[in-house]
Structure 1
Amino acid sequence: MDWSADGYILSSRKHGETSAIIEVFTREKGRHPGLVRGGTGRRMRPVLQPGNRVTVDWHGRLEEHLGYYTLEAIDSRSAELMDDRLSLAGLNALCIMTRDLLPEREAYPPLHDVFSIVVSQLDNPDVWPALYVRWEAGLLAALGYGLDLSTCAATGGSENLTHVSPRSGRAVCTEAAAPYGDKMLRLPGFMRGEGQATPEDIWDGLRLTGYFLETRVQWEVNRTLPEARATMIERLTSEGFAANPQ
């Protein structure tokens, strides 16, 4: 059972004296682990950093085996962003969220495509936070918990959709949401393709996707969201790219 693909390093950990077990996110095979012989050596350590794009060849006797990788670097995104704490926090959150929330060895091509776009834009802080929120919304959809932002859950209309019901994950218009006050989650317009995202919008978007990731996805496995996501939000907030409206 051999295959080849391009993908992104999600994580790497030492195995034995000189090897490493890595997880790679590919379009065709999803999140897939494998052994890299010599992965802790001086030549390979820089290649196996999270966020780097690589070409991998996986070899294993059976599909369910760990198997081993041979690989070559395509780019070193982690090194390019090393001096940018904000962008590096975004890269770490993206990789760790993918590693921790996606099941192994299941392909999610659209999610992988958005992942690639976010990685490519991480040096542009005016753009990537909104893309990241969209990626988390795609993550929810890929896992079977997609938000329905097309029409109001109460009226069926498509105008003035400003909130999301925490119970159903459906959009709610301003009038229908008013009686429920802060119980509703704010829906930023950029998530429906309406206008540019403000810092308040980024905060609302992260709170929205985070709520459903926490209560739908992680609740089932009795886990919270990775600390790397909270670190990213702290960096975004401290540098003015996300702002708590409260």
Structure 2
Amino acid sequence: MEWTDDAIVLSARPFGDTAALVVLLTREHGRHAGVLHGGQSQRYRGVLEPGGQVTVRWRARTADQLGNWTVEPVRSPAGLYLDDALRLAAIVSAAALMDAVLAEREAHPGLYDATLALFSALDLDIWPAVYVRWEVGLLEEVGFGLDLSQCAGTGQPAGHLPGGNPNDQLAYVSPRTGRAVSASAGEPYRDKLLPLPGFLIGLGFNGGGEEDVAAGLRLTGHFLERHVFAQRHAEVPPARQRLVERYLRLNGLPAAEPQES
């Protein structure tokens, strides 16, 4: 068995004396593990950092074996942001989340391309909002897509016509169902609902401020924790929590409070 593919490094750890067990998100073959002989050597130290983009060949005698990697570096997004702890944390968080939630050997070409788009967007000022949208996409990939198209109570679609009642805008998300709720319908229950930042429904994407991004991180974090990792009896990766804590601290925002179920 043998194939070649483009890939993103999700994780690598020692395997034996000199080899490394490397987990990749490949474009056509999904999350895939294999052994890289010599993977602990200096040659691969920078190549196997989370988020590294590589071309790979996988070989095994049969399809169900762990198999061996041949790896060639293409680009190291993490290497571009060694002096930017927040952007670096975003790369590591994205890799850790995919490593933890994606099933083995199931193709996710859309997520692969979205992840490359996220890495490219790190050069832009709006990258934190792009990261939140990436997490929304990850939720959809693993079977818990948020319904932000219309109000769960009234059927009102996202946004509102110019000059319309601003209370008809979608403003909240049910923490139980993941469905959006308008400002007017959600007002009596606002303390039990999650705020919906406007950039997730096409309102002020470029102008989304730090508090909107923080609300977005709280939103996606709730569903990752309660509806993805809890179902696996697992914890959200520490790398994701470090990203959130660093973002809030650098922007002078208070730590997120737990959301009631």
- TM over 0.5, shorter chain: yes
Mapped contact 1:91–1:122 kept (Cα < 8 A): no
How far apart, CA to CA, are the structure 1 residues paired with 2:209 and 2:256?
A: 11
Corresponding residue for 1:217? 228
Corresponding residue for 1:191? 200
Matching of residue 176 in structure 1 with residue 175 in structure 2: no
Deviation at 1:77, TM superposition (A): 2.0
| Deviations, residues 210-234 of structure 1 (Å, cap 9, x unaligned) | 1111111111111121111111111
Corresponding residue for 2:51? 51
| Deviations, residues 54-92 of structure 1 (Å, cap 9, x unaligned) | 000000122221100001100122222112111111111
| Deviations, residues 141-187 of structure 1 (Å, cap 9, x unaligned) | 11111010011110111241000111211110011101112100111
Deviation at 1:107, TM superposition (A): 1.0
How far apart, CA to CA, are the structure 2 residues paired with 1:66 and 1:245?
A: 40
Matching of residue 86 in structure 1 with residue 76 in structure 2: no
Q: TM-score of the superposition, structure 1-length normalised?
A: 0.95
Deviation at 1:199, TM superposition (A): 0.7
Deviation at 1:117, TM superposition (A): 1.0
Mapped contact 2:11–2:95 kept (Cα < 8 A): yes
Number of aligned pairs?
245
Of 161, 170, 176, the residue aligned with 1:161 is 170
How far apart, CA to CA, are the structure 2 residues paired with 1:245 and 1:16?
A: 41
Report the AA paired with residue 32 of structure 2.
H
Structure 1 residues 78 and 51, CA gap change in structure 2 (3 angstroms): same
Report the AA paired with residue 161 of structure 1.
L
Corresponding residue for 1:152? 151
How far apart, CA to CA, are the structure 2 residues paired with 1:193 and 1:244?
A: 26
How far apart, CA to CA, are the structure 2 residues paired with 1:157 and 1:87?
A: 36
Mapped contact 2:13–2:21 kept (Cα < 8 A): yes
DSSP-derived class of the 2:24 partner: strand
Report the AA paired with residue 44 of structure 1.
Y
Mapped contact 1:202–1:243 kept (Cα < 8 A): no
Mapped contact 2:28–2:107 kept (Cα < 8 A): yes
Report the AA paired with residue 117 of structure 1.
A
Mapped contact 1:202–1:242 kept (Cα < 8 A): no
Please list, as runs of the form range in 1=range in 2, the aligned pairs for 1:1-246 lying within 5 A after superposition.
1-124=1-124, 126-158=125-157, 159-195=168-204, 196-240=207-251
RMSD of aligned alpha carbons: 1.6
Mapped contact 1:200–1:243 kept (Cα < 8 A): no
Mapped contact 1:200–1:245 kept (Cα < 8 A): no
Report the AA paired with residue 42 of structure 2.
R
How far apart, CA to CA, are the structure 2 residues paired with 1:150 and 1:76?
A: 36
Report the AA paired with residue 151 of structure 2.
C
Deviation at 1:244, TM superposition (A): 6.3
Q: Which moves more between the two structures, 171-180 or 73-82? A: 73-82
Mapped contact 2:30–2:106 kept (Cα < 8 A): yes
For structure 1, list consecutive stretches of 5 or more residues without a partner in the other structure: none
Mapped contact 1:7–1:27 kept (Cα < 8 A): yes
Deviation at 1:198, TM superposition (A): 1.0
Structure 1 residues 3 and 245, CA gap change in structure 2 (3 angstroms): closer
Mapped contact 2:218–2:256 kept (Cα < 8 A): no
How far apart, CA to CA, are the structure 1 residues paired with 2:252 and 2:130?
A: 13
DSSP-derived class of the 1:194 partner: coil
Mapped contact 1:153–1:171 kept (Cα < 8 A): yes
Report the AA paired with residue 7 of structure 1.
A
Report the AA paired with residue 179 of structure 2.
R
Mapped contact 2:196–2:215 kept (Cα < 8 A): yes
Deviation at 1:194, TM superposition (A): 1.1
Deviation at 1:245, TM superposition (A): 9.1
Mapped contact 1:145–1:216 kept (Cα < 8 A): yes
